[in-house]
Amino acid sequence: MATQRIQGHPVLIIGAGRGGHALLEMFIEDKLVQVIAITDTNPNAAGLVLAKKHGIPVYTDTAEAIRACKDYPECIVYNLSHDETVTDEVSRVFGDKRVASGPEVKLFWQMVMNLKQTKGELEKSQGQLQAVIHNVMDGIITINESGEMLGFNPAAEQIFGYTQQEVLGKSARMLIPEAGWDEYEASLSQHLHDSRGKTISLRGLEVMAVRNNGELFPVELSASEMTLGGLRYFIGIVRDITERKLAEQKIAHLAHYDYLTDLPNRALFLDYLAHSLQLAKRNKCKLAVMFLDLDGFKQVNDTLGHEAGDLLLQAVSGVLKEIIRASDTVARVGGDEFTFILNDVGSDENAAFIARKIISALSQPIDLKGKTCEIGASIGIALYPDDAQETGILIKQADEAMYLAKTSGKNNYKFYRDVSDAQTDK
């Protein structure tokens, strides 16, 4: 073998079985070592096969291999062949004992095998971690202390619409809309202040984010601090909560609106009325509460069926919403019962005008998918501050006035003062 310039310390491996193969694998990956030859009496030994793949000279005669390495006076010989005569041959060729054998090699081989096992376990763990990062549904973003993105997993690519190559090295600010950046920084600063003296860990911060196409959407952000090689990094976990927010909005809507007519329900009506009364008191203006009960609704249900009854309620709600002003409120509070808030109604006559307009509209024939029905409406009116100044009392008074309208021939309206007059007449 001609002397060659090599990178790394020259090594000769004698014995290419399991131990020699493992040793060769380790040395191949280490730039500090260069295997210049490997020998084994078995030409099919695993170590020889591996050496050939990497262009390393192989021998089946140990003496020949040793002589071939004589031009490398610094060569270290690892004897894994269990043949102790190798030591004498090495001494004869190199002039001194530069061979590791016997217990030394056994210990070294065990160390190599342990390192190989540890490496295998580490690679397996890293592989599992990478599999999790690449397959998890949440976006995982690695950011350095300067705010530059260094990692962007496939889920983050899908969430934000950017490829990893498009964001690496760029500021994470590109993922937050300009209008929401101040709010985001304020929330983050507050959290950092609360975490002073501790490792930074952020959980469940809800902020608005922006996709590549400019679409704004809500995300839940969690982040943790990591120190590696003396440098600080932040691992951010981002979850797109668009569907969750839509579900929450739907639940909140169902809690405050009637499922059939999409009008405010009783609970929301009471909130609106309390707010309207506060404004009326502050502005010293008049407010009207109306209570409406449909005339003939039960007959429609009994003759045409409940589906027709539902269609009728939906048609009625549409009529009522068209008649009242945008500043007013109509709600469905029971089967065929509706309540109204007429804000800053001015005079009693204005309230009466709205009542007459509703009664006239509901007196017209209503088409229910090919089936025509006729109904009416009985309406009671209570006024603030003339009749009462409290929410519950005003609703009760309007209800009593509606009952008077119904017992007085239906399809008309009455004020609460009419109730008092009727009681006086008795």
Which domain-ending residue is among 220, 243, 266? Answer: 243
| CB atoms near residue 377 (< 10 Å) | 29
Per-residue pLDDT tens digits for 195-246: 554 555 677 888 899 999 999 999 998 888 888 778 888 888 899 999 999 9
107 and 207 share one domain = no
Alpha carbons 193 and 230: distance in angstroms, whole number = 22
Give the span between the Cα atoms of 152 and 132, in whole angstroms: 13
Write the CATH number for 17: 3.40.50.720
125 domain residue, yes or no: no
State how many domains the chain has.
3
The domain in which residue 319 lies consists of 257-425
CA distance linking residue 70 with residue 64, whole number of Å: 10
Which is nearest to 27 in space by CA: 80, 96, 87, 84?
A: 80
| Shared-domain flag, residues 190 and 99 | no
How does pLDDT run across 43-92, given as a tens digit for each residue? 999 999 999 999 999 999 988 988 888 888 788 888 888 777 777 788 78
Taking a C-beta distance cutoff of 8 angstroms, is the pair 162, 212 a contact?
yes
Categorize the per-residue pLDDT at 2 as very low, low, confident or very high, splitting at 50, 70 and 90.
very low
Residue 135: predicted pLDDT: 63
Per the domain annotation, does 128 fall within a domain?
Answer: no
Q: Are residues 383 and 272 in the same domain?
A: yes
Is there a single domain that holds both residue 102 and residue 183? no
pLDDT of 190 reads 59
Is the CB of residue 104 less than 8 Å from the CB of residue 79? no
User: Could you identify the residue written with the tokens 């592989």?
Assistant: 127
**364 located within any domain:** yes
Same domain, 60 and 188: no
pLDDT single digits (tens) 356-369 = 999 999 999 998 88
In this structure, the answer to whether residues 357 and 418 fall within a common structural domain is yes
Residue-wise pLDDT tens digits, 111-161: 666 766 667 666 666 666 565 556 667 888 888 888 899 989 888 999 999
Work out the pLDDT band at 185, boundaries 50, 70, 90: low
- In-domain check, residue 62: yes
Report which of residues 426 and 180 the model is more confident about.
Answer: 180
pLDDT in tens, 28-38: 887 888 899 99
pLDDT tens track for 251-306: 989 899 999 999 999 999 999 999 999 999 999 999 999 999 999 999 998 888 88
The C-alpha atoms of residue 339 and residue 27 are separated, in whole angstroms, by 87
Same domain, 306 and 346: yes
Answer yes or no: do 147 and 232 share one domain: yes
Q: Is 410's pLDDT higher than 60?
A: yes
Sheet (strand 376-384) strand order: 329-332, 337-342, 287-295, 376-384, 413-415
What is the structure's pLDDT at 38? 93
- The answer to whether residue 123 is domain-embedded is no
What is the pLDDT, as a whole number, of residue 3?
Answer: 47
350-396 pLDDT, tens digit each: 999 999 999 999 999 998 888 888 999 999 999 999 999 999 999 99
Per-residue model confidence (pLDDT) at position 372: 86
In CATH, what number is assigned to the domain containing residue 278?
3.30.70.270
| Arithmetic mean of pLDDT over the chain | 85
Does the pLDDT of residue 107 top 90, yes or no?
no
